[in-house]
Structure 1
Amino acid sequence: MSSVSGLVKTEQLYRSQSGWLQRAFAWCGWENGQVMANIRAGRMLTDYGRYHLSRKQFIFAAIAAALVFYMAAYLFYHSALVSIAAAGFGIIAPRFRRRSLLQQRKERLKLQFKEALFSLTSSLAAGRSLENAFLATLDDLKLLYPDPRTELLLEFQIIRFRLENAEPLEYALRNFADRAGIDEITQFTDALAACKRSGGDLLEVMKRTSAIIGEKLEIEQEIAVMIAQKRFEGRIMMAVPFVFLAFLSLAAPDYMAPLYGGIGYLLLTAALLLLLLCFWAMAKMMRIQM
């Protein structure tokens, strides 16, 4: 009996440790096998509020970050042991890579939706019904985006499939807006649903809505360009101290030798912490919600 109870306790301990590791990897961006299998099989509609990293993306991001951390730590401490320990923090890089890819996908979807609005308004002005205008917009999107994996192209194909199965257009659009989580798409869907319920001038409402949303997206693009420029400048500023330190270590090793011993390590650690604080502050200032 004691051996059986010991086996049960061992199995419970293994499961608890396995669950802890799974949660830790999930926090870093590792998706479980069932989710990835559903995505590959096409059994899940895209949730634009989440981004699922593939195995290659996760591994590449982790290895690239580990190499960067290793080189940065070695520049500061000239210790392989400390550098290897610092490289272990590369495992958290996929989490931030996932966030970046998620934001990029939303920005692409906004730009694609802006083009779709122009095509939709033109189709309505030509006298097509709302449903036929959406089908015509799908054909225009295929010309604009030859890649069949384009996000909005796939969404309009889903809308066409739902229309062919007698589902109301506003329901199909509402499902898309809920999954997209983008204000412009939600506002367009609300305006279209309100216009259909109230029996208003659909063409005029769509023209005004498309113009307002288009102007908003143009302003956001201009802001995004300026932010991208400043973010690039900030990255260069962050790289300069490491380049300068590497240059001094190669050109004047005797000059840098006092830093690699005794109180020198404290000074280097303080400098590294200040650099990390500056990097965090710049990233915080560049994170503007639009």
Structure 2
Amino acid sequence: MNILVLAFIAAAATGAFFVVQERMRRRRLKGENDDRVASSPEFGGHMPDGLSIYTEYKLSQMQWLIAFAGAGLVFSIVGYLFYHSVVAAVLCFAAGALYPKFRREALLLRRRTELSLQFKQALYSISSSLAAGRSVENSFHEVIQDLQLLYPDVNTDLIREFRIIRSRLENGEPIEQALLDLSQRAGIEDITNFAEVFAACKRTGGDLVEVVRRTSNLIGEKMDVKQEIAVMVAQKKFESKIIMIAPVGFLAFLNMSSPDYMQPMYQGIGLVVSTIVLIGLTACSAWILKIMDIRV
């Protein structure tokens, strides 16, 4: 019980230290160059005018702390299983500070994927409106109503973006300029291609109805293929996670069922063997994650 209390106190102290360090780092970056930081993840992934940037993601302090604490807890358990040492558990807990970076990348990927799916639905709506005889401006007004039926959350990224586009249209700004601005901030190939083709059609007087219809069909087919690939690799990703967890679970089982049998692993040359095994498992886990990181 005393060991657990010491581990908890040390973990809490380590977590508080990293939180203070993170706050100091953000203040320092903000003081160096407000204009540069305004478009960075530390400032929320927003441009100075408040528009979102979809190539960056900022973890809130709570998200950062939860990611750090969760990873640190897992790492500390692994460290204690391998060494039966509170010091090793605390050091492994501190290594959890590396995880928020990966968590931020995962959340950014999820946000960009959702934005792509929302844009696919928006193109179907715009194509239907144009085919029904509505003007381009009215079609972009109507798409907001259609998206709200699919995404009730008022803070949905693309609904907010189309509201911005509608406001720009009401202020007399060309619609192609608003779309190009969205494509630059989104950094998604499908949105960029659509915005460029749309702008070219507006300049040259092309058939917007046919262009939007073909573009929406192509993007829809492309996303369907991506979803099929994601379904195919989902099982393998699950199996890879089991492979990474299995050695730690087996070690925990041996510690609970046969502690005397495992005792030599926590003294003398056994500590060296444990270190080598832990390094090997870490390298294998990183290799597995790299292999299964399939971006489609």
TM bucket (normalised to shorter chain) is 0.7 to 0.9
In the comparison of the two structures, how many residue pairs are matched? 266
Whether contact under 8 Å (1:52, 1:98) holds in the other structure is yes
Counterpart of 1:64 in structure 2 is 70
Amino acid at match of 2:283: L
Give the Cα separation in 2 of the matches to 1:123 and 1:77: 65
CA deviation after TM superposition for structure 1 residue 237, in Å? 1.1
Name stretches of at least 5 consecutive residues in structure 1 with no aligned partner.
1-20
Could you tell me the TM-score, scaled by structure 1's length?
0.86
Give the Cα separation in 1 of the matches to 2:61 and 2:223: 33
Counterpart of 2:15 in structure 1 is none
Alignment counterpart, residue 80 of structure 1, candidates 79, 83, 86: 86
Counterpart of 2:209 in structure 1 is 203
Say if 2:114 is the partner of 1:91. no
Whether contact under 8 Å (1:259, 1:265) holds in the other structure is yes
Give the Cα separation in 1 of the matches to 2:183 and 2:45: 20
Say if 2:129 is the partner of 1:133. no
CA deviation after TM superposition for structure 1 residue 86, in Å? 1.2
Say if 2:193 is the partner of 1:187. yes
CA deviation after TM superposition for structure 1 residue 43, in Å? 5.1
Q: Structure 1 residues 221-230 or 265-274, which shifts more? A: 221-230
Counterpart of 1:271 in structure 2 is 277
**Alignment partner of 1:289: what SS?**
coil
CA deviation after TM superposition for structure 1 residue 227, in Å? 2.9
Counterpart of 1:15 in structure 2 is none
Change (3 A) 1:251 1:31: farther
Q: Percent identity?
A: 48
Could you tell me the TM-score, scaled by structure 2's length?
0.84
Superposed CA offset, 1:181-218 (max 9, x none): 00010011111111112212111111111111110011
Whether contact under 8 Å (1:65, 1:87) holds in the other structure is yes
Compute the RMSD of aligned alpha carbons: 2.3
Whether contact under 8 Å (1:74, 1:80) holds in the other structure is yes
Give the Cα separation in 1 of the matches to 2:252 and 2:119: 47
Change (3 A) 1:65 1:141: same
Whether contact under 8 Å (1:31, 1:53) holds in the other structure is no
Change (3 A) 1:61 1:139: same
CA deviation after TM superposition for structure 1 residue 37, in Å? 7.7
Say if 2:215 is the partner of 1:215. no
Alignment counterpart, residue 151 of structure 2, candidates 145, 148, 151: 145
Counterpart of 1:115 in structure 2 is 121
Whether contact under 8 Å (1:67, 1:87) holds in the other structure is yes
Alignment counterpart, residue 45 of structure 1, candidates 46, 51, 56: 51
**Alignment partner of 2:184: what SS?**
helix
Whether contact under 8 Å (1:31, 1:52) holds in the other structure is no
CA deviation after TM superposition for structure 1 residue 264, in Å? 0.8
Give the Cα separation in 1 of the matches to 2:138 and 2:247: 59
